[in-house]
Structure formats: C-alpha cells, structure tokens
Chains A and B, each alone.
Chain A
Amino acid sequence: MTEKRKLAEKEYEIWVEAPRVAEKAKPGQFVILRTTAFGERIPLTIVKTDPLSGRVCLIFQVIGKSTAELAALNPNDRLQDFVGPLGMPSEIKNYGTVLLVGGGVGIAALFPIVKGLKEAGNRVITVLGAKTRELVILKEECRAFSDQLIVMTDDGSDGNQGLVTAAMEDVFLRETVDVAWAIGPSVMMKFAAKMAQNYDVPIYVSLNPIMIDGTGMCGGCRVTVADSVKFACVDGPEFLGTEVNWEEFIQRMKQYSREETDSYEAYIRQVNPFGEKKLQQNTDAGTGAGNPVE
C-alpha cells in the first residue's frame, strides 16, 4: 500500500502497488485482497489505475472486521494477498446518451465506468446519491467526465433532497437515454432497475454478493439472473438489473450477519479503532463487486 486517504467517516481511498493488475484492469473489474493470513478474501472494485507507476486505487467503507483491519493499515504496509483483475469488464462503447447512477460507496465502482463511457464519446449524465454531503465521494472526478452531474442527498445537505430514483425519472421524462448503470446498495439498485424498466431503458447493475475465490470455483456468489444461475465473480459482476432476482440476492447477503456482527464487535472491543461507543453496522454498503461477508 503506497497511500491512504480518509474520504469520509469510515470511507477510505488506498493505492496499492500491483503492476500486473494496474496494466490489465478495465472498468467494472475488481480485485480480491487479504490483509492478513487470518483474514477473509475481500473483493473490491477497482476505482482507478496508474499503469505507469503500477498502482491500483480502491475505495471502501468500513462495515465489519475485515474492512476495519484494512482501514487500519498504513502506507508502506504490505497486504497479504492481492489478485486481479477479476470479473468481466463493463461493456464500454458509444451508446449515445448514458445515465449513470451511484449510491454511497458504490460511487467508487461507478466512477471508472463514467470515465470510460465519456472517453468513448457518450453524452454522460451522472446521478450521485448519499445520506449526506460528506458521503458524496468522487464528486469532482465524476463531474470532470460528465455532461451533467446531479447530486441527491437524503438530508438535502448537497444537491437536491431525495432519492436517486427521483432524479432518474426527471432525466427519463426530459430526454432519451440509451443505456443506464446503477451501482450502490442493493435496495437502491433494485429500485433504480424498476425505474429504468418503467421507461424501457436497459440498465446494468454491479452485484456484490458473498464471494470467496472469485474465479468461479466455489459457487458462493451465485445469483439468479433471467431465471438461470450465474456466478457474479466470472459471469458478472454486472448484470441487467431488470433480470436480477432481487429478493433472493438481498436474502443471500444476510447469510453470515450474525458471525459478522460478532466478529466486528469483538474486534472493536479489542482495538477500538474509531474510538466509538456505539456500533453502527451497515450490512449492505454497495461497494460494487463489494464486500463479502461484513
């Protein structure tokens, strides 16, 4: 790890030296890393790469023990393992007008697609949503590659107050959109997919199911898409949002919630890295290819 920056409460950006990954990575792909030999394999979407310095940028939110341990590392610390780029890249081409919707830490996974689609000559409309102003990450980076940038916050502290789906509807009512992407918490992606479906716009989402090996070997990340079983790690992580069985997907995310809570609480008691008195746990932070079991 060469750099670490705190973006917001519990959200961090890190740069990792991994020349092979930096050289090969395309928008939409992810890596799996481990912080220690005892740690989990954590999948995280690749946000940026710098092939010249051989570095990869990741953004994550602390939602459990594994991400807390990752956040506790410092520049010049070594990660135990780092493998990638994994998954299928986003299909970047000139579609015409594209609508890109990012929610919370999912904005990190959306950003390379925003950039890629702009560079491919699209008219890019980007909607960023978050609970509050400080959680709207990568705003200036996204703005640089967007023809229009709309910000939505739950509390109205930045942009408009409301949900990203409201902003989507405004855009759909106003102009023709050829294709859309939505990356964020599962519930956001589910409703964004419904909104796009209402206006007959194809929409890709990036799923972050529980995952282990990331190479199609274990089948833990299986999702039902258009009534057939897909492995998010090799067939995805992007799928058409209207074809995803969301109830099942959201249910499967909860498989280890008890173990995750126990683990995190034990870690906090032991280390107390954030000086917190009360634990706040978010089981679905929508990190794109995402966090496995926190």
Chain B
Amino acid sequence: MKRSYNKTPMPEQAPEIRWNNFEEVALGYDLESGILEASRCLQCKDAPCILKCPVMIGIPGFIKAIKEENIQKAYEIISRYSNLPAICGRVCPQEKQCEMVCRLGQSKKFEPVAIGKLERLVADWALEQPVEKVERTFHKGKVAIVGSGPSGLTAAGDLAKLGYKVVIFEALHTAGGVLTYGIPEFRLPKRIVAKEIERIEALGVTIETNVVVGKTITIEEIQRDFDACYIAVGAGAPHFMGIPGSALNGVYSSSEYLTRINLMHGYQFPTYDTPVQKAAKVAVIGGGNVAMDAARSAKRMGASQVTVIYRRSVEELPARVEEYHHSVEEGIEYSWLTNPVAYLDDGTGKLAGVQCVKMELGEPDASGRRRPVTIPGSEFVIEADVAIEAIGQGSNKVLLATFPELAVNKWGYIDADEETCATNVPGIFAGGDIVTGAATVILAMGAGKLAAKEIDQYVTAKEA
C-alpha cells in the first residue's frame, strides 16, 4: 500500500458547532484510521522521535503494535514510559518534539506520522479497560509529593512502580493541577484526567486533597515522616501587565478566568455556584497556549467578538499551531503587533475597552526573537467588557515562604539541578514549572520521571 502524503485526518466537531459547547474538539481515531496512520511509520532503527520525546516513549514499537492490531501491546509499551498517555496524546506539542524530527516528515511532500494522535488512540482504548488494582508491597520507603499536576503524578506513578509508598499533597479540592484548573474541557476532558489519576491511584498512590504544604502541614513534618520529598507545585502566581485600570471589574488573569471555568465549572453556572462574567466583547492579552485556551473559552461563554492581542506577529506566536488554527476556525480574531497600555473605565468601575498601541519588530532580543517596539502616535482602542491577561506566571511563594532554607534562583524559582532534580536540601527534590518557570505538561512529566529515578537512588543509598 502506498503511503499517503498526509496524516490520516482525525474527525473534529465543526467550528460553528463547537464554539457553542465545551465538548472536546478533536474526536479521536477509530482503530481503522489508527492502523492506516500507523502503517505510514518508517520504523526507523535509530528513531529520532524517541530522543526528541521528554519521556523517551518507544514510539516505533508502539506504532508497530498498532499496525499489527495489538493495542494491548501498544499500551504496554507506552505505559512503560508515560503514566499519563491520554493527556500527552492531547496536549503535548508534538509538532515541536517527536513529529518535528520524524523521518517521514523530513522527506518531500510527506507530513510526519501523527504520533500524538496514535498515542491518544491507544491511551483512550486503555482507559476503557477495567483498572486492575495491583496489590503491592511498599518495601523501599515513603515519598511525599507536593502537588498533583503532571510532574507530581508522573513521579508518583514511577515511584509506586519501584516499590515506594507515595502520598501526594494537593492544595485544591481536586487533583490534577493545571490539567484540572487550567486546560479547558474542550481540549482535555476532565473525565480523561480523572481516569488517568485513577490509574495512578490504582498503583497504590494516595492523594490527599485540601492540604496546603507550608500551611496545613509543614516541610519539617514531611522531612520527619518521609524518606524523601518531591516538590512539584508548578509556577502558579499570575503576572499582570500592571497597566492603569487593572483593578476594573472585568479584568482577569487567565488563571482566574480558567479556574472559574474549569475547576469551578463556571460555564455550568447556575448548576454550579461559581459564576464567571459573560461578555459580548473579550480581549485576551498574550500569545501562548493559555491565551488560546482563554480566548476559545470566552467564545464558548457566548462572546460575539474575541480578540487576541499579541505584541509580536503570527510567526513568533508561542502557542501550538494546532491550537492557533482551531482558534481561527472558531472565529477568534487577532490584533498582531499590538500592546495594551491601559484599561478604560465605563464610568462605573467596569471595563469598557483596552487602549493599545501598535508595535513594530526591531532587533532580536535575548530570546532571539525580534523585539517589539512601540510606534509613536499609534494609539487605538479595542472595545471589550472582559479582558484576560495571559502573560505568564511567576513562582508561587506559599510553600517557599515557609521553607527559607531552600535555595531559589534570581527569578524566585527553586534552584534544583536539572540533571537530578536535587535541591540544596538533602532529600528534597524539585521539578516542573517551579524550577523551570511555566513550560509544557510533557516537560513537567519528564522532570517527574527524572525525580523518581533520582529519589530511588537517593533513598537506596541512604538505606545502604
């Protein structure tokens, strides 16, 4: 059979339907499409895709198993490396990782193998299978994990498999971290997150919600009761532009907007009690995946006009291409090379619009991207009754403030060794966004895997 040039298409909800609901956009491959797509894989011996994957999934192996219609085997291969495959299959930036280096995609006319979509197929199949509760003995020791996001869950899964009793402490009432409060339902359904977490718990991991480490229990108590600790609390303190009018009603951080919608089910108000402002015109500031999530959520909340304000151009947009395309299909508008300078008051303390200036791109800055420069006299107003700032996060100080011995870097993130996740305090490891600053789910998972390995070595050496 001749390989098709293009990826096997995945069915999606039509834009004009999906922008009215929070249901998942991409509907997933069926087995037939999966086998078709799997047969496009060249089965490279040196498999560059594996090296480009932060958790080094045996990609050609699982794809071969799909081609052979052995989904069970494909799942076994994936789950050797990833504890959260249904999540990775949906939210990993595959186009910048495995799929970017795919040999097939390197050859003329061919698109890379849809590795992410195949991973999702296998993972979704697995989620439908009954969870086998394995009786384990936890002979190697006890490990505490702070934070139940992708990094903490990954470390927990690996440590449980290695024979550790793992307790995860989560500050919110639902586990999952950014997977639960940040990424919207239409991109990552919460039932998928819940099922993946159930699988981690089935490995013998305990998750205690409503525990704020540093407040409800202290790091000293953890040091006393556990052999090691992995801090994976995420970045989690929203940045604000700090421009005039930021306190007006209708100005949100993306964290608040998305938390209201995702964690608190604001889109189901009044069935759920936490409201979120419904607006006719919404401005979203920023150009990352979080900005896309906020903009597309605002559309689903009924906004007739949603404008993303980004100070660079489409070429520099940090969001995933797929998310950008989805947003355009859904009618999200973009104001490129634009920077907000003030929020305008409607006279009653509510937002009326965003005062902006136009930008042009100057010389490259430290990040290698051309630096946006204000064009004098270019002020204009984008009308909006809600504005959402999605400009990134800084480090959350709740835990760090109560643990002054822990070394932090000049940006306020934990100063942990990238190779080992070790901090300056013996037995305390850290990884994910609280070390790197806001990054991706898969990188946080990579850190979690590393931490699990290093914690195992540390505890084993200590016992010896």
Interface residues of A (CB under 8 A from B): 20-21, 24, 34, 38-41, 65-66, 80-86, 212-213, 215-220, 222, 224, 229, 231, 234, 245, 248, 251-252, 254-256, 259-260, 262-263, 266, 293
**Contact residues in B for A216 (Cβ distance below 8 Å):** 236-237, 396-398
Given A34-B173, A229-B240, A293-B275, verify A262-B397 contact (CB < 8 Å): no
**Contact residues in B for A85 (Cβ distance below 8 Å):** 215-216
**Contact residues in A for B215 (Cβ distance below 8 Å):** 24, 84-86
Given A20-B211, A213-B259, A266-B270, verify A251-B275 contact (CB < 8 Å): no
Q: Is B277 an interface residue (CB 8 A)?
A: yes
The answer to whether B273 touches A218, judged by C-beta atoms less than 8 angstroms apart, is no
The answer to whether B247 touches A252, judged by C-beta atoms less than 8 angstroms apart, is yes
The answer to whether B256 touches A219, judged by C-beta atoms less than 8 angstroms apart, is yes
Interface of A (DSSP majority class):
mixed
* A–B complex contacts, Cβ < 8 Å, 9 sampled: A24-B216, A38-B272, A83-B210, A212-B256, A216-B397, A217-B181, A218-B253, A222-B247, A263-B273
**Contact residues in B for A262 (Cβ distance below 8 Å):** 270
Interface size class of B (residues with CB under 8 A): 35 or more
A178 to B274, CA, bound (A): 41
**Which of A20, A24, A215, A263 has the most CB atoms of chain B within a 10 A radius of its CB?**
A215
Interface residues of B (CB under 8 A from A): 171-173, 181, 209-212, 215-217, 236-238, 240, 242, 246-247, 249, 252-253, 255-256, 259-260, 263-265, 269-275, 277, 349, 396-398
The residue from A81, A252, A259, A260 contacting B210, defined by CB atoms under 8 A apart: A81
A231 to B398, CA, bound (A): 12
Given A24-B215, A83-B173, A83-B211, verify A293-B246 contact (CB < 8 Å): no
In the assembled complex, how far is the CB of residue B167 from the closest CB belonging to chain A, in whole angstroms? 14
In the assembled complex, how far is the CB of residue B184 from the closest CB belonging to chain A, in whole angstroms? 15
Inter-chain contact total with CB atoms closer than 8 Å: 115
Residue of B nearest to A80 (CB): B173
In the assembled complex, how far is the CB of residue A268 from the closest CB belonging to chain B, in whole angstroms? 13
**Contact residues in A for B238 (Cβ distance below 8 Å):** 217-219
The answer to whether B249 touches A217, judged by C-beta atoms less than 8 angstroms apart, is no
A82 to B215, CA, bound (A): 13
Residue of B nearest to A220 (CB): B256
A256 to B350, CA, bound (A): 12
The answer to whether A254 touches B349, judged by C-beta atoms less than 8 angstroms apart, is yes
A263 to B270, CA, bound (A): 7
A256 to B278, CA, bound (A): 11
In the assembled complex, how far is the CB of residue A237 from the closest CB belonging to chain B, in whole angstroms? 14
**Contact residues in A for B249 (Cβ distance below 8 Å):** 251-252, 254-255
Residue of A nearest to B234 (CB): A217
**Contact residues in A for B253 (Cβ distance below 8 Å):** 218-220
**Contact residues in A for B256 (Cβ distance below 8 Å):** 212, 218-220
**Which of A34, A39, A80, A83 has the most CB atoms of chain B within a 10 A radius of its CB?**
A83
**Contact residues in A for B271 (Cβ distance below 8 Å):** 38
In the assembled complex, how far is the CB of residue A178 from the closest CB belonging to chain B, in whole angstroms? 27
Residue of A nearest to B182 (CB): A217
In the assembled complex, how far is the CB of residue A215 from the closest CB belonging to chain B, in whole angstroms? 5
A85 to B215, CA, bound (A): 6
The answer to whether B270 touches A217, judged by C-beta atoms less than 8 angstroms apart, is no
Given A212-B264, A217-B396, A219-B238, verify A83-B212 contact (CB < 8 Å): yes
